Amino acid sequence: MTTHPSTSSGHVQEDKVVFGFWVYLMSDCVLFAGLFATYAVLQNATFGGPSIAELVSVPFVLTETMILLTSSFTVGLALLAAHRHSGTTTLRVGYGAGKKYLVLTLLAVTLLLGLAFLGMELKEFSHLLAEGNGPSRSAFLSSFFTLIGTHGLHVFFGSLWMLILMAHIVIKGLNPGTVRKLTMVSLFWHFLDIIWIFIFTIVYLMGALAL
């Protein structure tokens, strides 16, 4: 492997793989748009049940937001550490000397933050279910659980993927293959953070306006 992969043919191939993943993210974006539209239409259809204003705890959700935002930052730092010296960015895969343990540490921090986020979300869901406000309570709650649950599922699979990637890096070290996977995980994670900004704004903050 040369030290300047941008001149090798392998680089072009890797670019295509990352671009393919980007196209997947864009289609995922359309999926979330459908869920957001459903939520926007059904948010007042409470069927005598609680409205979003009665359920929302903004400081709790703000904490979730900060956790996810910080994890988005740390996964970016992990990618940066892997790419250091190669002068590449998120969208262009390169093979830097990298610092394996720094990358692993930053990924571990990201993973822990992701799990903390998931834990808080599960706590919120179980609290709602315990009070009889499950997805079957009203059309509003169905759309609420679908939107937030789909995002949570993405975070769950992202965390699982990150765990597997960490095992890959431990075993194989930083090579073009693992760095490419890291690039895609970080794209996925940034994407989830962006989706969450809109959930935070549209569901929670706009819901809290009626408090």
Partner 1 sequence: MKTLRAYILGFILSIALTLVAFALVLEHVRTGHVFPSHGLAVAVLVVLAVIQLFVQLMLFLRLGEERKPRWNLTALVFALLIVAILVGGTLWIMQSLSHGQMQEPRDIFTEENIFPSTQND
Q: For binding to partner 1 (CB under 8 A), which residues are involved? A: 19, 22-23, 26-27, 29-30, 33-34, 36-38, 40-41, 58, 62, 65-66, 69-70, 72-73, 76-77, 80, 83, 89-92, 187, 190, 193-194, 197-198, 200-202, 205-206, 208-209, 211
Rounded least distance, CB 171 to partner 1, Å: 27
Joined tokens for residue 96: 């830097």
17/134 with CB nearer partner 1: 17
- Nearest-5° angle of CA 12, CA 87, CA 5? 35
Joined tokens for residue 21: 């993943």
Rounded least distance, CB 34 to partner 1, Å: 6
13/126 with CB nearer partner 1: 13
- In contact, 75 and 82? CB cutoff 8 Å: no
- DSSP three-state, residue 145: helix
Cβ neighbour number for residue 95 with a 10 Å cutoff: 27
Rounded least distance, CB 36 to partner 1, Å: 6
Identify the DSSP state of 56: -
Rounded least distance, CB 167 to partner 1, Å: 25
Rounded least distance, CB 18 to partner 1, Å: 9
Cα-based distances in Å from 144 to 5, 72, 151:
46, 24, 11
Q: Is 61 exposed, middle or buried (0-12, 13-18, 19+ CB in 10 A)?
A: buried
15/134 with CB nearer partner 1: 15
58/115 with CB nearer partner 1: 58
87/173 with CB nearer partner 1: 87
